[in-house]
Amino acid sequence: MKHTRATIINLSPELEQDSLLKIRTLLKSQHDLQLGDFEAKELLDWFCNEIGVKVYNQAIADTQKTLAHRLETIEGELWALQK
């Protein structure tokens, strides 16, 4: 795996360490692969850049839809309160 760019999504040190442990544990238990620190970090960076960004953007879009719906509801309630 070739590391070609900086990580787009920056994780807190605690979340990064937890994620690295989960990657190592998964690959060891499911595929009998033992990753070192460098390999696990490279894989985590790849997931953050290639998949994490798409998930993040989808979460933003979902939040925008939810907020738009709630604002419509509030707007309707405000119209109903007018005298």
**Segment-wise mean pLDDT, segments of 10 residues, the chain, 83 residues:** 66 97 98 96 94 94 97 93 86
Domain residues of the chain, as ranges?
13-81
- Nearest one of 66, 50, 58 to 4, comparing CA atoms: 50
Q: What pLDDT, on the 0 to 100 scale, is given for residue 83? A: 80
DSSP state for residue 48 in the 8-state scheme: I
For residue 9, what pLDDT is reported?
85
Decide: 35 and 44 in contact? Cβ < 8 Å. Answer: no
What is each CA distance from 36 to 23, 42, 56, 67, 69, in whole angstroms?
11, 10, 27, 43, 47
- Cβ atoms of 44 and 19 within 8 Å: the answer is yes
